[in-house]
Amino acid sequence: MSDFFAMGGYALFVWSAYGLCALVVLWNALSARTLHRAALADARRRLSSAAP
Amino acid sequence: MANFTWFYRLASPPTSYAAAGRLWLWFAVPAVLLIAVGLYGGLVSAPADYQQGDAFRIIYVHAPSAWLSLLGYSVLGVSAGIGLIWRMKLAHALAAAVAPIGASFTFLCLVTGSLWGRPMWGAYWAWDARLTSELILLFMYLGYLALRSSFDDVSRADRASAVLALVGLVNVPIIHFSVNWWNSLHQGSTVLRVGGPAMPASMLVPLLESFLGFTLLFAALSCVRLRAEILMRERRPTWLQDGLTVSASHE
């Protein structure tokens, strides 16, 4: 098991690359969701304020 | 005569908004599964490379992110062009939706490449044709996003940034062929090459799973961002109140 984490001496490089990948994927998922929610709330506000 | 009414229907905001809302999960679920299987295979099942040892495992995140950086810019440039020529709002919305995704994977591609370069080449960076053209791609993305954010009006931002996106499209084939055109430090194609992939199946299969998984992830993220971009371009989206988009309230 510790062999696996050691990555043949390249642990720093391999795990940094995979860790960063996880962060980029996470940022993408969260930012897309936040953007859609904000746009939806904004659109609803426009609709209700313009309602007769 | 061909009948294009389906195309116009798809391009209408309520239809495309609802379609993207139904599609994204169909992309996201297999994306997560394939990325998990592919990265597990790359980290655990695939044998260490006989020259590069375990450092080669970085390829399972580096190569798919490089692919997404080019796919993202191709979608960005082509849809910006369509938006500019045919004044199609949906195309502009798609261009704006994919830009941040593509930029983030271009960044990931550059950093993972440099994390591989340090132990393998002895340097984090080299002013090599492939690396330099990929860095220019990141600047094209950032320039596009910065230009957009300088406008308050979405439709003016769309038109101005579309011109920039089109110009940057030239860079895409340059990046792809850079390893053939110039004497590059970066290795040539391993998978899509004459004579078939230069990799055993135990290394290749996880890589292909990873490629497919990240491509589907890109599609899922594009759908969600596209929905937001469609809403931003609607002055009064009265169709939001229809039963058609009831699913939107769950998100």
Q: Using alpha carbons, select from B111, B171, B178, B173 the residue that is nearest to residue B141.
A: B171
Q: What is the pLDDT of residues B26-41, one digit of tens each?
A: 999 999 999 999 999 9
- Average pLDDT of B33-50? 95
Residue B222 has pLDDT above 50, yes or no: yes
Strand (E) or helix (H) holding B239: none
Q: What is the pLDDT confidence band of residue B250, given thresholds at 50, 70 and 90?
A: very low
Contacts of B119 in chain A (CB under 8 A): 10, 13
Q: Concatenate the DSSP letters of all residues of B123-160 into one string.
A: -S----HHHHHHHHHHHHHHHHHHHHHT-SSHHHHHHH
Of B221, B225, B231, the CB nearest to A43: B231
Beta bridge partners of B236: none
Residue B150 forms part of a structural domain: yes
Residue B242 has pLDDT above 70, yes or no: no
> For residue B149, what pLDDT is reported?
96
Residue B11 forms part of a structural domain: no
Q: What is each CA distance from B226 to B86, B99, B223, in whole angstroms?
A: 19, 11, 5
**Burial grade of B109 (CB within 10 A; 0-12, 13-18, 19 or more):** buried
Domain count, chain B: 1
Q: What is the pLDDT of residues B153-178, one digit of tens each?
A: 999 999 999 999 999 999 999 999 99
Q: What is the pLDDT confidence band of residue B249, given thresholds at 50, 70 and 90?
A: very low
Q: What is each CA distance from B199 to A29, B34, B170, in whole angstroms?
A: 32, 20, 31
Residue B206 has pLDDT above 50, yes or no: yes
What mean pLDDT value characterizes chain B? 91
B1: closest CA of chain A, how far (Å): 39
ipTM over 0.90: yes
**Are residues A20 and B109 in contact, defined by beta-carbon separation less than 8 angstroms?**
no
**Burial grade of A20 (CB within 10 A; 0-12, 13-18, 19 or more):** middle
Q: What is the pLDDT of residues A1-52, one digit of tens each?
A: 788 888 988 999 999 999 999 999 999 999 999 999 999 999 999 888 865 5
Q: Using alpha carbons, select from B59, B22, B18, B30 the residue that is nearest to residue B216.
A: B30
Q: Using alpha carbons, select from A40, A47, A31, A21 the residue that is nearest to residue B232.
A: A40
Question: Which chain A residues in 10-49 lie under 8 Å from chain B, judged by CB atoms?
Answer: 10, 13-14, 16-18, 20-21, 24-25, 27-29, 31-33, 35-40, 42-44, 46-47
- Average pLDDT of B80-105? 96
- Cβ-proximal residues to B129 (8 Å cutoff; 6+ apart), any chain: B178, B179, B181, B182, B184, B186
Residue B247 has pLDDT above 80, yes or no: no
Q: Token pair of B48, please?
A: 């260490």
- Average pLDDT of B85-110? 97
- Domain with B154, as residue range(s), is 22-234
